[in-house]
Structure 1
C-alpha cells in the first residue's frame, strides 16, 4: 500500500510539473473543465430524459434513475471523505509546485475525489440508459478525473478510487431500482393527470394512438 501511495505522490508531482509547462489558455481550460464537465453531465441527463419520453417504460425508468444513481455515488464518496480525512496534496506536499487553482479549505478532504465519483457514476449511469453514449461519457469522466490532478487539488489515487466507487454505486442503484421504477413509469403513463403524463411521456403507445384511425386498428 505504501508503495502505491508513493507512486501516487510521484505521479502527482510529475503531472503538476507538466501542468506548469502548458500554455496559460490550456491551464484555464483545465480549470474550467473541472466544473463545466459536471454541468455537461447534467445536460445529458435532461437530454436522455427527454428522448426517452417516447421510449419504452424500461428506457424511461433508466433515464430517470441515471441522475439518482449519480447522486448516490456522490453521497457514498462524501461519506468516505469523512472517514478517511486525507489532507489535500496542495497542503500536504512540501516543496510541490503551486496548484493552478486555490487549494480547498482545511477540512475539505482529498480522498476520494467527489468530482471523479460524480463523473464515474454519471458516465456509467448514462451508458446504461442511453445506448452508444459511453463513447462520449467515458472520455468525459476520465478527463474530469485527470483535470483534478492537473490543477493540483487531488492525488491520482483520489480520482482513481472516485471513478471506480462512483461507477460501482451507480451500477448497483440502477440494477436494484430498475424494476420498481419501471412499474412506477407504467403507472404514471396511465395517470389521468396530464402533468404526470408529460413528465414521463406517453411512450410508444402514445405514438400508436396518435396515428389517424389508430384506435380502430384492433377492431379489424
Structure 2
C-alpha cells in the first residue's frame, strides 16, 4: 500500500511538472512566497476586519482563521514534520522558471503552506460564506503552488489541507463551547413560533442587513423582515409599529443591528410586553454575545420552541420632581448593556465621527488614542460622596471576567437585579496606571479602579455638558440621575442547550 501511494505521488508530481500551465510562472511562485510565515493570511485578515464588509461574522471568521493557522502551524512543525521525515522531491523535471529562489530546508510531509491555507479559508468560510468564496480559490492556488514549484508531493499537500481543515473545525468547536452561556436562569413563558411565524424582524441597513436577510430567511422562513428606511421615519418609530403588531398578533419582535438598535428594540418590546428575539449583527452586539447567539440558526430552535429567559432592562432618569423642557418631567433613558459617564462617552463620540471614513475598528483605535491624550476628569457625588473621576461605568447585571473589569467580560445571569458599578478615579498618572493594569490582567488590583454591586445608584453634581453613553449611544447627561431597574423584565429568546437543539421540548 505504501509503495502504491508512493508511485501515485511521483506520477502526479511528474504530470504537474511536465504540463504547460499558461501564465502560471508569473503567479504561482510569487503567491507561494507571499504565503511564507502566513503573511498572506495575516494581510487578508486585516483587509476583512478593516473593510467592514460582512460585518461582525466576517471579522470573527478572520480572527478564527488566524487562530486555526497558529494551531495548524504548531501541529505541522512540531509533530508532523518531525514524525515522518520525508525528503523533498527531486527537481530535475521541474522547469527552472517555476522553482523558488529559496528552497525549504525542512522535511516534506505534510505541507505547512497547504495546512495554513486550508485552516484560514475554512475558518473564514465557517463564519462568512461570502468571504469564504473569495478566500477559497486563493488558498487552493497556494496549496497547488507547492506541487507546481516542486517543493512538495501531492500527498503532502492533501494531508496538510486536511489537517488545516480539521484544525479550523476544532477551533470553532472550542470557541463556540466557550461562548455558550451556562443555564443559570430558569425559563419564562414565551410563544412558540415555528419557522419564525409571527416574528416581526426589523433590520438596520447600517449593520450589513443585506447579507443578513438571506441568512434569516433560511433559518426563519416564515418571519416577516422589514428593513429600516431612514427616509420613511425614525428607527424607534418603526420598532414601535412592529412591536404593536407583534402584540396584536400574539407574536414577538425581532431585531438585527448593533447595541443602539437593540436598545431601541428592547424599549419597544418592554412597552408592549412582547418577547424579543435578538439576532447577531452590527459592529457590536453585546446582548447577543451574552445570550450565546452567534448566528440566526442559533436562535431558530429557541423561537420555534418558545425557549426564553428574563432579561433586566436598566433605567437612568433625573430624580422625582425634576423638570425638563416645557415644564414636563424628563423622559427616562434605558440601557440593556452599559451606561457610563466621562471618558467613554468621549470615546464613543470620536469613534462615531470617524467610523464612516475609516471603518469601525480603526475608528475605535483613533478614539482611544484621542481619549488618552485629551480627556479630563470630572467631579460628581456618587451615593452622596464627592469623587473625582475619569470614568463611571454601570453594567446591567453582574459582569464576570478574569481581569475584574467590564472590558471583555460576560454576564451569565441577565436578570439578577444588580447594577455592576466601576469607577476609575482621577489622580497622578491615573490613565497610565489604568492601562498598564488592564494590559497586565490585574485591573481589579489597580489603585485607581474601584468596583461594587447594588440595586440603585444616585448621582448628583454632574457638571453641565458631561456626556453619558448608553449601549453605544451618547447624549448630554442631566446634573443628577437615579439608575435602577423597572419591573417587569424583558422576555428574550435564548438558544437551546446543545443537547436539546433540534429536539422538541416536552
**Do residues 210 (structure 1) and 473 (structure 2) align?**
yes
- Which of 90, 111, 122 is matched with 1:113 structurally? 111
- When Rg is computed on C-alpha atoms for both structures, the one with the higher figure is 2
Residues paired across the two proteins, number = 200
Distance 1:26 1:65 in 2: 31
Distance 1:54 1:105 in 2: 36
Q: Answer whether contact 1:81 1:112 (CA < 8 A) is retained.
A: yes
- Which of 133, 138, 141 is matched with 2:139 structurally? 141
Give deviations 1:169-201, integer Å, cap 9, x for gaps: 121012212343688x959x979886x9947x9
- Which of 16, 32, 35 is matched with 1:34 structurally? 32
Deviation at 1:148, TM superposition (A): 0.7
Q: Which residue of 1 aligns with 2:169?
A: 171
Give deviations 1:129-172, integer Å, cap 9, x for gaps: 32322212221111111111011111000101111111101210
Q: Which residue of 2 aligns with 1:66?
A: 65
Q: Which residue of 2 aligns with 1:46?
A: 46
Q: Which residue of 2 aligns with 1:88?
A: 88
Distance 2:31 2:151 in 1: 14
**Do residues 75 (structure 1) and 74 (structure 2) align?**
yes
Counterparts in 2 of 1:207 and 1:171: CA distance versus 1, 3 Å: farther
Distance 2:94 2:59 in 1: 47
Deviation at 1:212, TM superposition (A): 7.6
Distance 2:159 2:136 in 1: 15
Instruction: Flag structure 1 segments of 5+ consecutive residues without an equivalent.
Output: 214-218
Q: Answer whether contact 1:66 1:129 (CA < 8 A) is retained.
A: no
Deviation at 1:63, TM superposition (A): 4.2
Return 119-128 or 130-139, whichever deviates more: 130-139
SS across alignment from 2:17 = helix
SS across alignment from 1:87 = coil
Give runs of ≥4 in structure 1 deviating > 4 Å: 51-56, 58-63, 189-194
Q: Which residue of 1 aligns with 2:16?
A: 15
Give deviations 1:47-99, integer Å, cap 9, x for gaps: 3334669956x7765543321121101111112011100000026xxx54456
Q: Answer whether contact 2:29 2:149 (CA < 8 A) is retained.
A: yes
Q: Answer whether contact 1:90 1:103 (CA < 8 A) is retained.
A: no
Q: Which residue of 1 aligns with 2:103?
A: 104
Distance 1:177 1:109 in 2: 32
Q: Answer whether contact 2:143 2:157 (CA < 8 A) is retained.
A: yes
TM-score by length of 2: 0.34
Q: Which residue of 2 aligns with 1:216?
A: none
SS across alignment from 2:152 = coil
TM-score by length of 1: 0.72
Q: Answer whether contact 1:69 1:125 (CA < 8 A) is retained.
A: yes
Q: Which residue of 2 aligns with 1:158?
A: 156
Q: Answer whether contact 1:87 1:109 (CA < 8 A) is retained.
A: yes
Distance 1:209 1:68 in 2: 28
- Indicate the RMSD between aligned Cα atoms, in angstroms: 4.1
Q: Answer whether contact 1:116 1:145 (CA < 8 A) is retained.
A: yes
Q: Answer whether contact 2:54 2:130 (CA < 8 A) is retained.
A: no
Distance 1:117 1:13 in 2: 22
Question: Which structure: greater strand fraction?
Answer: 2
Q: Answer whether contact 1:66 1:174 (CA < 8 A) is retained.
A: no
Question: Which structure: greater helix fraction?
Answer: 1
